[in-house]
Amino acid sequence: MHFAWVRIMSELCKWLHEQLEELPLIRYPFDLDDLPKCGVYFFYEDGEVWGHGGDKLRIVNVGTHKGGTLRDRIAEHYLLGKYESRIIFDQNKFKPSDRSILRKNIGRALLNKDNDSYLKIWNINFVKREDRERYGFMRNIDKEKELEEKITRIIRERFSFRFIILDDQMERKRLKSALIGTLARCGLCKPSKNWLGKYSPVSKIRKSGLWLTQHLNAEPISERDKEVILNAIERTKKYL
């Protein structure tokens, strides 16, 4: 039973990757205005190959948006458009990675790789005013800016993404959970030996090979989800 379940999970993961291959892989630089307002995005990372044969890139992150738009969420990760100015901050402002969990997790891995004790400060979310007032004096702003710039280079140079258009917010939320659960359960897609995430202080990231900590144990995509994904892909192809 266990082996049958593992095989099913791997087949679902392969199916998902293959369906998304119908869509173009977007790399920096790109025009934010070319992106839709609503949808789900899939990040890939250079050097990270899927485990189903060949050298296709594997998905390392799945995300969507609550408020705002898909464009906003992508722009927050890449620091583009109106979010580019977030690199200018001080002790009274939050750092860019406080609004992007992908950036936050990359920063954690970089600091942990260097055995840098600043990790405990980096982990604090300075979006909250009370945390800025309570812990702001402990911040090394120059160090944070240097790290933020390094994270931006990594994302712009190593990461790429695909997206599917999906309007309904509850549907996006539900599907995101199932997508992550599917990828996390695949027994064949593994991180490379040089994957930066292996230095993460977060065991869930190291073990899953994903820059994610939530929904890793969620139920995988269902037959209904497959239909939703296929319809979304067809709609996205027409949009592009």
What is the pLDDT averaged over residues 49-68?
Answer: 96
The span from the CA of 178 to the CA of 218, in Å, is 6
Q: What is the pLDDT of residue 6?
A: 78
| DSSP-derived 3-state class of residue 165 | strand
The model's confidence at residue 2, banded by pLDDT at 50, 70 and 90, is low
The span from the CA of 10 to the CA of 183, in Å, is 8
Q: How many CB atoms lie within 10 A of CB 20?
A: 19
pLDDT tens readout for residues 133-145: 999 999 999 999 9
pLDDT tens readout for residues 74-95: 999 999 999 999 999 999 999 9
pLDDT tens readout for residues 125-172: 999 999 999 999 999 999 999 999 999 999 999 999 999 999 999 999
pLDDT score of 235 more than 60? yes
Contacts of 57 (CB under 8 A, 6+ apart): 25, 44, 45, 46, 48, 49, 50, 160
Domain ranges of the chain: 2-80+159-177+186-239, 83-155
